[in-house]
Amino acid sequence: MLVADRQTMYIMRRWWDKNGVAIVLGGLTLSAAWFIRQTQGAALFEAYQLLTRPFQSHPTQQEQLTNARVQELQQQLVELESQNQKLKELLDYSKTQKQKGIFAPIVGRSADHWWQQVTLGRGSRDGIKDNFIVMAPGGLVGRVVDVTPNTSRVLLISDATSRVGAAISRSRSMGFMRGQGSNRAVIQFFDKVPDVRRGDVVSTSPVSKLFPTGLPLGRVESVNLNKSPAPEAVIELTAPFNSLEWVMVYPESTGF
What CA–CA distance (Å, rounded) separates 50 from 44? 10
What angle, 0 to 180 degrees and rounded to 10, lies between the N-to-C axes of helices 42-52 and 2-38? 70
pTM: 0.63
- Taken as a whole, the chain contains a residue count of 256
CA distances from 130 to 107, 127, 135, 205 (A): 18, 10, 15, 21
In this structure, are residues 222 and 202 in contact, taking their beta carbons and an 8 Å threshold? Answer: no
pLDDT in tens, 166-221: 999 999 999 999 999 999 999 999 999 999 999 999 999 988 888 989 999 999 99
Per-residue burial over 113-127, b if 16 or more Cβ lie within 10 Å, else e, is eebbbbbbebbeebe
pLDDT, position 56: 56
Give domain limits for the chain: 1-34, 98-256
In this structure, are residues 132 and 250 in contact, taking their beta carbons and an 8 Å threshold? Answer: yes
239: DSSP letter: S
- pLDDT of residue 28 exceeding 60, the answer is no
Say if domain 98-256 classifies as CATH 2.40.160.50: no
